């Protein structure tokens, strides 16, 4: 609920800053990095609004269930603009020789669209997921969080063969198992 400003806003006290209708509109239309969720309706929406402190109050036990473990969120080292406060590249795709442990090649993977529009390309970016490699030596990956790109690379040298932009980030390497 504390967020990680400026990238992830604080949700504590959100019910004091916005009405239930405004919060519902933001959920359905999306805002910033949060994608729109127009299908979140009915009891699922009510539960989320109650969690945010809007609507019928929850009992303290319901909002703070006992737990042996507590997740306090990830703390990222960011600059004042919300970008990683580290040297470039901020994310790479690497090929390693498993016999020697040495890099065969290492390339930046991912971009921040706002920086790319200003000419800062190949910065690399945060990634979740991994590649799939074909028997023909083509590596496919869509793990980049911010640019939503799906790419194909030559496994022999890391050369980009193809890329496209997806509607959302492809941050998994296998289909859901439900």
DSSP assigned state of 59 = P
Distance CA 79, CA 35 (A): 23
Please, which pLDDT band fits residue 177 given cuts at 50, 70 and 90? Answer: low
**CATH of range 92-165; options 2.40.10.480, 3.40.50.2300, 2.40.50.100, 3.20.20.70:** 2.40.10.480
What pTM was computed for the model? Answer: 0.58
Residue extents of the structural domains in the chain = 1-75, 92-165
CA distance to 118, 123, 125, per residue, from 91 (Å): 19, 7, 5
Does the structure show a pLDDT above 70 at 106?
A: yes
* pLDDT value at residue 57: 52
């Amino acid at each position: 609920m504390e967020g990680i400003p400026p990238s992830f806003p604080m949700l504590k006290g959100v019910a004091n800053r916005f009405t239930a209708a405004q919060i519902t509109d933001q959920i359905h239309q999306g805002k910033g990095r949060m994608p729109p969720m127009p299908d979140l309706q009915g009891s699922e929406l009510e539960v989320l609004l109650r969690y945010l402190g809007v609507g019928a109050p929850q009992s303290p036990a319901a909002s703070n269930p006992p737990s042996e473990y507590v997740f306090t969120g990830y703390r990222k080292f960011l600059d004042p603009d919300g970008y990683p406060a580290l040297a470039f590249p901020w994310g790479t795709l690497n090929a390693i020789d498993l016999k020697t442990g040495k890099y065969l090649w290492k390339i930046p993977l991912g971009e921040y669209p706002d920086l790319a529009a200003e000419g800062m390309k190949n910065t690399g970016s945060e990634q979740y997921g991994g590649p799939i490699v074909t028997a023909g030596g083509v590596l496919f990956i869509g793990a980049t969080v911010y640019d939503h790109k799906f790419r194909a690379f030559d496994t022999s040298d890391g050369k980009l063969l193809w890329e496209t932009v997806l509607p959302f980030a492809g941050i998994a390497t296998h289909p859901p198992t439900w």
